[in-house]
Structure 1
Amino acid sequence: MTVPFQKYHGTGNDFLIIHADEYVPDRGALAERACDRDTGVGADGILYLALEPKFNPPRVVMTLVQPDGSVAPMCGNGARCAAEWAMDRTGTDSVMIDTQAGTLRADRTDDGDITIEMGTATFDPEKIPVDADNQVFEEEIEGLEVTMVNTGVPHAVAFVDDVDDVDLEAIAPPIRYADVFPKGTNVSIASPNGSGGFHQRTYERGVEAETESCGTGAVAIAVVARRLGRTDSDPVEVSPPGGVLRVSFNERGNATLTGPVEHEFDGEVAVESPIEP
């Protein structure tokens, strides 16, 4: 048995999109197989989307299953891909995305990019979560000086001289699995680009590797940089390996994430039926 999918990516952060009505007996197992870049289709996760076009703007219910089989409450680039998918099917330029981290609005810009609201970032240790009595700003954890923030998912953000000089695959896992993070954390590093923006690299929880782009990570870098006085730009340009993202802030200090989305191709993926007792 197979189910159809559409492959989308936002600045290299790529996802298989499967309609939530499709019968998938084990979503976690399918993600582990299909996301594998050697033996599967290859992706940073599977987005299960349910479209509710009767609303104005249309609504999309989004569930992200990551390559390790876990479910992530939020994904900035994934939500932008979900928005493009929904806009393609409804002929609209605005949609609402229901995620486990809240309901967010997405809009198509005049140049064709997708902008999504990212809610309110928090430095509250209980909401990140991190085992700390106070907010964590530039404190050493497993050898790296990090600031902790939750932008829908937790991020440990560190500023370095040059992101290309860092062995991220070596330094990130000890932080990602540090005892102070009861639910783990993403690890994002940033270096200034000379014009108020930053170069970005992110090791993603659930992918368990560096990705070409991370939307929540880009927002985390921009939020932390502004909080620490490292930039006063708006928008803040953040450049992961896969492209350029722009993080803006409204009058309440909430962030939006803007960047391109591309529909790569369509296909079908095999679904294993559960073994009968």
Structure 2
Amino acid sequence: MSVPFQKYHGTGNDFLIIHADEYVPDRSALAERECDRAEGVGADGILFLALEEQFSPPRVVMTLVQPDGSTAPMCGNGARCAAEWAMDRTGTESVMIDTQSGTLRADRTDGDITIEMGSPTFDPDKIPVDADEQVFETAIEGLEVTVVNTGVPHAVAFVDDVEDVDLEEIAPPVRYADDFPRGTNVCVASPDGSGGFDQRTYERGVEGETDSCGTGAVAIAVIARRLGHTDADPVAVKPPGGDLQVSFNERGHATLTGPVEHEFDGEVTVESPAEL
């Protein structure tokens, strides 16, 4: 038995999208198999989307299952891909995305997709991180990081040049540090000389480096502004997969803007009821 999918990516952060109405008895097992880049289709996760067209603007209920089978409460580029998918089907330029981190508005402007990212928090209990106060430029497992939650936790280190960093060596000890009861994503960022930043991110749930991370881009931007590394708005953040823009409104809420591409369609095999 098979179910259809659509493959989208946002600045290289790629996802299989499956309509939530499709029968998938074990979403975690499917993600573990099909996100594998050697044996499966290859992706940074599977987005299961339920489209509710009766609302204005239309609503999309988004569930992201990651390559390790876990469910992530939020993904900036994933939400932008979900928005493009929904806009393609409804002919609209705006949609609401329901995530485990809250309901967010997405708009298409000049071909790019902008998604609300809520209000980042440095509150240790909400990240969560095992600390009595906010964590700024603190050594954790040998890496000096600032910690923020932008829908998911991020530990961000500013370095001279992200290309000089062995991310696969320095990130896992921080990602699995006892300081983070639910783990954390790990970002490194370096100034680009014009108020923006180059980005590399080791993602929790992917358990490796991704070509882009939207929540990570927001984490870098908000921390850079808090530490006085930039006063730009928007802040340009450049992961390996493309360019993103992070803006802030008067309430401190962030938005994430960048391109989204529909790559191709296909089908994946799932267990039939008789096989269960």
- TM, length-normalised to structure 2: 0.99
User: In structure 2, what is the Cα distance between the partners aligned to 1:186 and 1:274?
Assistant: 37
Match of 1:45 in 2: 45
List structure 1 runs of 4+ shifted beyond 2 angstroms.
Answer: 272-277
- Between the aligned partners of 1:198 and 1:182, the Cα distance in structure 2 is 29
SS for the counterpart of 2:154 is strand
Write the distance in 1 (CA, Å) between the matches of 2:45 and 2:62. Answer: 12
- How far the C-alpha of 1:161 sits from its partner, in A, is 0.2
Q: Does 1:94 align with 2:113?
A: no
State whether structure 2 residue 248 is matched by structure 1 residue 249.
Answer: yes
What one-letter code is carried by the residue in structure 2 that aligns with 1:66?
Answer: Q
Instruction: Tell me, in whole angstroms, the C-alpha distance in 1 between the residues paired with 2:86 and 2:154.
Output: 28
Cα distance between partner residues in 2 of 1:249 and 1:65: 28
- Superposed CA offset, 1:80-123 (max 9, x none): 000000000000000000000000000000x2000000001000
Amino acid at match of 1:124: D
Partner of 1:11: 11
Q: Could you say which residue in structure 1 is the equivalent of 2:146?
A: 147
Partners of 2:274 and 2:79 in 1: CA distance: 33
Cα distance in 2 between the residues matched to 1:23 and 1:188: 36
SS state at 2:188 partner: strand
**Paired letter, 2:62:** M
1: CA distance, partners of 2:45 / 2:273: 21
Q: Match for residue 269 of structure 2? A: 270
Q: Distance in 1 between matches of 2:223 and 2:152?
A: 14
Amino acid in structure 2 at the alignment position of 1:130: V
Q: Distance in 2 between matches of 1:69 and 1:79?
A: 18
SS at match of 2:85: helix
Q: CA deviation at 1:175?
A: 0.3
Does residue 26 (structure 1) correspond to residue 26 (structure 2)? The answer is: yes
CA offset at residue 217 of structure 1? 0.1
SS class of match (1:175): helix
- For residue 275 of structure 1, report the CA deviation from its aligned partner: 8.1
User: Which blocks of at least 5 consecutive residues in structure 1 are unaligned?
Assistant: none
Cα shift at 1:276: 6.2
1:82 and 1:134 map into 2 onto residues whose CA distance is 35
Q: Which residue number in structure 2 is paired with residue 261 of structure 1?
A: 260
Identity %: 85
Q: State the SS of the aligned residue for 1:83.
A: helix
d(CA) in 2 for partners of 1:175, 1:83: 32
1:63 aligns with 2:70: no
Q: Distance in 2 between matches of 1:161 and 1:236?
A: 18
Distance 2:252 2:31 in 1: 35
Deviations 1:231-250 (A, max 9, x none): 00000000000000000001
Alignment partner, residue 138 of structure 1: 137
Name the CA distance, whole Å, in 2 between partners of 1:190 and 1:17: 29
Residue correspondence of structure 1 range 179-218 to structure 2 within 5 A = 179-218=178-217
What displacement does 1:263 show? Answer: 0.1
AA in 2 matched with 1:166: V
Q: Shift in Å at residue 272 of structure 1?
A: 2.6
Distance 2:268 2:275 in 1: 21
Alpha-carbon offset, residue 253 of structure 1: 1.0
The whole-number CA distance in structure 1 between the counterparts of 2:7 and 2:38 is 17
- Structure 2 portions without partners, runs of 5+: none
Q: Give the CA deviation at 1:225.
A: 0.2
- Tell me the TM-score normalized by structure 1: 0.98
Aligned residues: 276
Partner SS, residue 81 of structure 2: helix
Give the CA deviation at 1:7.
Answer: 0.0
CA RMSD of aligned residues (A): 1.0
SS at match of 2:190: strand
Secondary structure of the 1:6 match is strand
1:50 Cα offset (Å): 0.2
